Amino acid sequence: MPIHRFAAGVIIFKPSSDGSRKYLVIQNAAGHWELPKGHTEPGEHWRQTALRELAEETGITDVTLIPNFARQIKYVFRDRKAGLIHKTVCFALARTKRSKITLSDEHTGFAFLDFQQAIQRLTHAATRGVLQDAENFLAHP
Protein backbone atom coordinates (compact mmCIF):
# COMPACT_ATOMS: atom_id res chain seq x y z
CA MET A 1 0.00 0.00 0.00
CA PRO A 2 1.46 3.39 -0.96
CA ILE A 3 2.33 5.94 1.67
CA HIS A 4 1.02 9.52 1.36
CA ARG A 5 3.25 12.39 2.46
CA PHE A 6 2.49 16.10 2.54
CA ALA A 7 4.93 18.95 2.25
CA ALA A 8 4.91 22.69 1.67
CA GLY A 9 7.30 25.23 0.28
CA VAL A 10 7.81 28.78 -0.83
CA ILE A 11 8.62 30.33 -4.17
CA ILE A 12 10.72 33.18 -2.84
CA PHE A 13 11.83 36.16 -4.89
CA LYS A 14 13.50 39.50 -4.37
CA PRO A 15 12.89 42.52 -6.59
CA SER A 16 15.78 43.82 -8.66
CA SER A 17 16.53 47.48 -9.27
CA ASP A 18 15.49 47.11 -12.92
CA GLY A 19 12.00 45.91 -11.93
CA SER A 20 12.66 42.22 -12.61
CA ARG A 21 12.64 39.46 -10.01
CA LYS A 22 15.34 37.10 -8.78
CA TYR A 23 14.06 33.72 -7.62
CA LEU A 24 15.81 31.64 -4.97
CA VAL A 25 16.73 28.07 -5.91
CA ILE A 26 18.61 25.71 -3.61
CA GLN A 27 20.64 22.58 -4.27
CA ASN A 28 20.03 19.54 -2.09
CA ALA A 29 22.70 17.03 -1.06
CA ALA A 30 21.73 14.74 -3.97
CA GLY A 31 22.57 17.56 -6.40
CA HIS A 32 18.98 18.44 -7.36
CA TRP A 33 17.99 22.10 -7.66
CA GLU A 34 14.66 22.86 -6.02
CA LEU A 35 12.56 25.39 -4.16
CA PRO A 36 12.64 25.53 -0.35
CA LYS A 37 10.18 22.94 0.98
CA GLY A 38 9.69 20.27 3.61
CA HIS A 39 7.28 17.93 5.36
CA THR A 40 4.30 19.17 7.32
CA GLU A 41 4.16 18.40 11.01
CA PRO A 42 0.96 17.22 12.75
CA GLY A 43 -1.48 20.08 13.28
CA GLU A 44 0.53 22.48 11.12
CA HIS A 45 -1.18 24.46 8.35
CA TRP A 46 0.67 24.14 5.07
CA ARG A 47 1.58 27.87 5.02
CA GLN A 48 3.13 27.49 8.48
CA THR A 49 5.15 24.57 7.14
CA ALA A 50 6.25 26.58 4.13
CA LEU A 51 7.53 29.47 6.26
CA ARG A 52 9.14 27.18 8.84
CA GLU A 53 10.95 25.21 6.14
CA LEU A 54 12.07 28.42 4.43
CA ALA A 55 13.62 29.59 7.71
CA GLU A 56 15.20 26.21 8.45
CA GLU A 57 16.66 25.72 4.96
CA THR A 58 17.74 29.30 4.16
CA GLY A 59 17.59 31.42 7.32
CA ILE A 60 15.08 33.74 5.62
CA THR A 61 12.35 34.92 8.00
CA ASP A 62 11.58 38.40 6.68
CA VAL A 63 9.06 37.69 3.94
CA THR A 64 5.82 39.10 2.65
CA LEU A 65 3.40 36.44 1.46
CA ILE A 66 1.72 37.30 -1.84
CA PRO A 67 -2.06 36.98 -1.43
CA ASN A 68 -4.21 34.76 -3.66
CA PHE A 69 -1.40 32.49 -4.82
CA ALA A 70 -1.20 28.80 -3.95
CA ARG A 71 -0.13 25.93 -6.17
CA GLN A 72 0.06 22.21 -5.60
CA ILE A 73 2.09 19.49 -7.25
CA LYS A 74 1.77 15.74 -6.84
CA TYR A 75 4.27 13.07 -7.72
CA VAL A 76 5.20 9.49 -6.93
CA PHE A 77 8.62 8.12 -6.08
CA ARG A 78 10.13 4.99 -4.60
CA ASP A 79 11.99 5.18 -1.30
CA ARG A 80 14.48 2.38 -0.63
CA LYS A 81 13.12 1.78 2.86
CA ALA A 82 9.49 2.93 2.74
CA GLY A 83 8.56 1.80 -0.77
CA LEU A 84 6.14 3.72 -2.97
CA ILE A 85 5.48 7.30 -1.80
CA HIS A 86 2.71 9.56 -3.09
CA LYS A 87 3.72 13.12 -2.29
CA THR A 88 1.70 16.34 -2.39
CA VAL A 89 3.52 19.66 -2.08
CA CYS A 90 1.73 23.01 -1.68
CA PHE A 91 3.62 26.19 -2.58
CA ALA A 92 3.13 29.77 -1.42
CA LEU A 93 4.69 32.81 -3.08
CA ALA A 94 6.63 35.40 -1.08
CA ARG A 95 8.87 38.43 -1.47
CA THR A 96 12.00 39.18 0.52
CA LYS A 97 14.63 41.91 0.46
CA ARG A 98 17.22 39.61 1.94
CA SER A 99 20.22 38.37 -0.07
CA LYS A 100 22.15 36.64 2.72
CA ILE A 101 21.35 32.95 2.98
CA THR A 102 22.26 30.50 5.73
CA LEU A 103 21.90 27.06 4.19
CA SER A 104 20.88 24.03 6.23
CA ASP A 105 23.06 20.93 6.36
CA GLU A 106 20.65 19.35 3.85
CA HIS A 107 21.72 21.75 1.10
CA THR A 108 24.97 22.46 -0.71
CA GLY A 109 24.25 25.55 -2.81
CA PHE A 110 21.89 28.36 -3.65
CA ALA A 111 21.39 31.07 -6.22
CA PHE A 112 19.11 34.04 -6.79
CA LEU A 113 18.40 33.84 -10.53
CA ASP A 114 16.23 35.65 -13.02
CA PHE A 115 13.21 33.69 -14.19
CA GLN A 116 14.78 32.08 -17.28
CA GLN A 117 17.91 31.03 -15.38
CA ALA A 118 15.84 29.65 -12.50
CA ILE A 119 13.60 27.63 -14.85
CA GLN A 120 16.68 26.12 -16.47
CA ARG A 121 18.34 25.33 -13.14
CA LEU A 122 15.40 23.56 -11.47
CA THR A 123 15.71 19.79 -11.75
CA HIS A 124 12.09 18.64 -11.87
CA ALA A 125 9.46 19.57 -14.46
CA ALA A 126 6.67 19.90 -11.88
CA THR A 127 8.72 22.45 -9.94
CA ARG A 128 9.45 24.36 -13.14
CA GLY A 129 5.68 24.47 -13.72
CA VAL A 130 5.06 25.97 -10.29
CA LEU A 131 7.71 28.63 -10.92
CA GLN A 132 6.14 29.40 -14.31
CA ASP A 133 2.76 29.85 -12.58
CA ALA A 134 4.35 32.26 -10.09
CA GLU A 135 6.00 34.31 -12.82
CA ASN A 136 2.73 34.52 -14.77
CA PHE A 137 0.83 35.50 -11.61
CA LEU A 138 3.30 38.29 -10.80
CA ALA A 139 3.49 39.53 -14.39
CA HIS A 140 -0.33 39.78 -14.73
CA PRO A 141 -1.79 40.61 -11.31
Q: What is the pLDDT of residues 120-135, one digit of tens each?
A: 999 999 999 999 999 9
Mean pLDDT for 79-85 is 86
- Decide if pLDDT at 140 tops 80: yes
**pLDDT > 90: percent of the chain:** 84
Pairing of the two strands 3-15 and 83-95: parallel
Q: What is the pTM of this model?
A: 0.92
Exposure string for 33-58, b = 16+ CB within 10 A, e = fewer: bbbbbbebeeeeebeebbbbbbbebb
Domain boundaries, the chain: 3-139
Mean pLDDT for 65-92 is 92
Give me the CATH code for the 3-139 domain, please.
Answer: 3.90.79.10
What is the pLDDT at residue 114? 95
